[in-house]
Amino acid sequence: MKKYDVLFFDLFDTVINFSFTNLPLIELSGIRARTTSKEVYEVFRRLHPDVPFPEFYDHFISSYREFQDLKLAENREYPNRDRFLMMLSDMNLAGGEDAPALADYMVKAHMNGLASAVSFPPENESALSALRDAKYRMAIVSNFDYAPTAYSLIEKFGLMRFFEKVIISEEVGWRKPSPVIFEDALKVMGADPDASLFTGDNFHADVAGSKNAGMDSVWLNSRNESLEGLDPEPDYIIPAFPGVLEVLRLS
pLDDT for the residue numbered 251: 74
Q: For residue 241, is pLDDT > 80? A: yes
pLDDT bin (cut points 50, 70, 90) of residue 73 is very high
Q: Where are the beta strands (DSSP E) in 102-187?
A: 118-119, 137-142, 165-168
Domain co-membership, 199 together with 107 = no
The CB-side HSE value for 120 (13 A sphere, CA atoms) comes to 13
Q: Is 35 helix (H, G, I), strand (E, B) or coil?
A: coil
Final residue before a domain boundary, out of 115, 138, 155? 115
Same-domain check for residues 92 and 168? no
Q: Quick check: is 158 in a domain?
A: yes
**CATH number of the domain residue 194 falls in:** 3.40.50.1000
Burial of 209 (0-12, 13-18, 19+ CB in 10 A): buried
Question: How many structural domains does the chain have?
Answer: 2
CA distance 197 to 131: 13
For residues 234 and 220, give the distance between their C-alpha atoms in angstroms, rounded to a whole number.
10
Whether residues 153 and 180 share a domain: the answer is yes
User: Closest by alpha carbon to 221, among 240, 194, 195?
Assistant: 240
- Residue that finishes a domain, picked among 85, 115, 145: 115
223 and 145, same structural domain? yes
CATH label of the domain that carries residue 94: 1.10.150
Is residue 213 in a domain?
yes
218, 124: one domain: yes
Statement to judge: residues 39 and 85 lie in one domain: yes
157: left (phi over 0), alpha (psi -120 to 50) or beta: alpha
Same domain, 236 and 143: yes
| 1 within a domain of the structure (yes/no) | no
Same domain, 94 and 185: no
- My answer on whether 230 and 209 are in the same domain is yes
User: Do residues 168 and 179 share a domain?
Assistant: yes
Q: How far is Cα 136 from Cα 115, in angstroms, rounded to an integer?
A: 28
% of the chain beyond a pLDDT of 90: 96
Q: In what order do the strands lie in the sheet with 236-238?
A: 165-168, 137-142, 6-9, 196-200, 216-220, 236-238
Whether residue 45 is predicted with pLDDT greater than 90 in this model: the reply is: yes
pLDDT digits (tens, 9 = 90+) for 142-164: 999 999 999 999 999 999 999 99
Q: What is the pLDDT of residue 168?
A: 99
Is it the case that residue 1 has pLDDT exceeding 80? no
What is the chain's Cα-based Rg?
Answer: 20
Does one domain contain both 24 and 124?
no
**Of 58, 82, 115, which closes a domain?**
115
Would the pLDDT of 99 be above 90? Answer: yes
Range of the domain at 27: 20-115
* pLDDT single digits (tens) 123-142: 999 999 999 999 999 999 99
pLDDT at residue 2 in the model: 87
